Amino acid sequence: MTLRRTALHGPADHADEATPSSVAAGRTGSWAEGTPLRWRLALLTFAGVALAVGAMTLLTYWSVTTALTVGVDRDLDSQATVLLNRTVDPFYLTNLEGEIQQFKAFHPDTRVSISPPGWSFSRGDVIPVGGEVHGASGSERRSVRTVGNERILSRSDSVGGTVVLAKDMKATHDLITTLASVLLIIAASGTMLAIAAGTLVATAGLKPLKRLQRAVDYVAETDDLRPIAVQGNDEIAQLTRSFNKMLGVLQESRTRQSQLVADAGHELKTPLTSMRTNIEFLMMLNRPGMGDRISEQDRQDLERDVLAQMTELSTLIGDLIDLSREDAGETAREPVELDAVMESSLERVRRRRSDIDFDVDLIPWNLVGDQFSLGRATLNLLDNAAKWSPPGGVVRVRMTQLSDDRVQLSFADSGPGIPPDDRTRVFERFYRSPEARSQPGSGLGLAIVKQTVVRHGGTVRVEESDDGGTMVVMELPGKPQVEASR
């Protein structure tokens, strides 16, 4: 056997090894886990609307209250400005008491106290002065505060005049109280509407889910995998389409299983029947007086047939197990050195067919996959090539890098080849061409190869070799492995 390994030149590829993140521990149960989705949606809708109504109510109350207070302060400030300007008029001061009474006649809800410039006392009502004073000494000063039901404003000008106004806020407070009552009624009404809206939204929103649930229950109860009718184009419709895809995959898997059972039963029936006939014949010959009915050579041929049929059954059962293993697709994936897998398969085939020469050219190549399945696939292809090669023939194996992440393996023999019409069918389960029916085999080897290659993200096809035989070409993903010395 001629074995050549072709080293790849170039810088080493550095790949970050993905580390699986840890999964959080189980959470403790909450009330939401035991509450129906309908009520959770209704509660969330109610909470959202109630929060919005409450926020708008508080904002409205604050805005109106602030606006009313600012309006009162603005009116008092305007009135104080007018009174301060008149305190510098001597004619105004000569009848100050009368002017105060006239002011109060026009503003019955406001008390007033005036201290003209240079006076050490004031005229009018007794109003307590206090609060935070704004303005520097020698300039205009102003203070505003609320005492009881009165809003008190004090203004002093730069020449020493002072005016204090106290406005009765009872009417304003009554207005604010009325406003608060109205806003509370609105908030309560909004909350009730929020409850109704939440219930309505939850009921209407969950109708498609209820329909989907009934369809799923129907599938579970009847085992009928027909697709569910899709209505609309919203998220529920997308969920239904995804569910239909899952049903399609389940139906396809069920069909494959049924076909596998039917085909396996058909393929097992023939060797079992033949082996049973031969065994019954051998048992009959072992009876007294029946041993001389056939020659010793015929007896030995019969025994060899039984052993060959048992071997055929064992091979068929092994192939069926491998095929079901590929169908499951649940094998663990790990880094695989494809060239090492090829060398192992070559060693096994070389021991079986020492009369065949193997011309092999391999390159170091890594991929992530199932080493056992890849080994079985390459062994099947090498076995086929050796089986159809005549004694003294050469099986040519080539491993070629197609791109940075793609490699090609070709297995060429010098046998009779496969007709073009049969080259796509040879990968079907239990299919055997007329030329191959005289040879031992189950018809599952190439089907296992195709499933393995496809599951690893590759392709496989049959072509004609250079000398008219068969060449199977397989492509797989991966990356080149740079040797340690480089």
> Minimum mean pLDDT among 7-11, 44-48, 261-265, 457-461: which range?
7-11
Question: Could you tell me which of 408, 428, 429, 421 has the C-alpha nearest to residue 472?
Answer: 408
- Please report the pLDDT score of residue 5 as a whole number: 58
DSSP symbols for 99-160: HHHHHHHH-TTEEEEEE-TT-SS-EE------S-EES-TTS-EEEEEEETTEEEEEEE-TTS
Q: Quote the pLDDT of residue 186.
A: 84
**320, pLDDT greater than 80:** no
Which stretch of 4-8, 55-59, 102-106, 227-231 has the lowest confidence by average pLDDT? 4-8
Sketch out the chain's domains with CATH numbers. 36-222 (no CATH), 331-486 (3.30.565.10)
For residue 188, the one-letter residue type is A
Q: What is the 3-state secondary structure (H, E, C) of 406-465?
A: EEEEEEECCCCCCCHHHCCHHHCCCCCCHHHCCCCCCCCHHHHHHHHHHHCCCEEEEEEC
Backbone φ and ψ for 163, nearest 5 degrees, come out as: -130, 130
User: What's the rounded mean pLDDT across residues 299-310?
Assistant: 79
Q: Bigger pLDDT: 168 or 486? A: 168
Arithmetic mean of pLDDT, 300-311:
78
Given a contact cutoff of 8 angstroms between Cβ atoms, the answer to whether 356 and 333 are in contact is: no
- The number of beta carbons lying within 10 Å of the beta carbon of residue 287 is 9
Whole-angstrom distance, CA of residue 469 vs CA of residue 413: 5
User: Does residue 49 sit in helix, strand or coil?
Assistant: helix
Whether 413 contacts 395, CB under 8 Å: yes
Residue 221 has pLDDT above 50, yes or no: yes
The H or E element containing residue 203 is: helix 170-222
pLDDT band of 11, cuts 50, 70, 90: very low
pLDDT band at 32 (very low <50, low <70, confident <90, very high): low
Name the average pLDDT for the chain: 78
pLDDT in tens, 391-409: 888 999 999 999 999 999 9
Burial of 46 (0-12, 13-18, 19+ CB in 10 A): buried
Do the Cβ atoms of 69 and 151 come closer than 8 Å?
yes
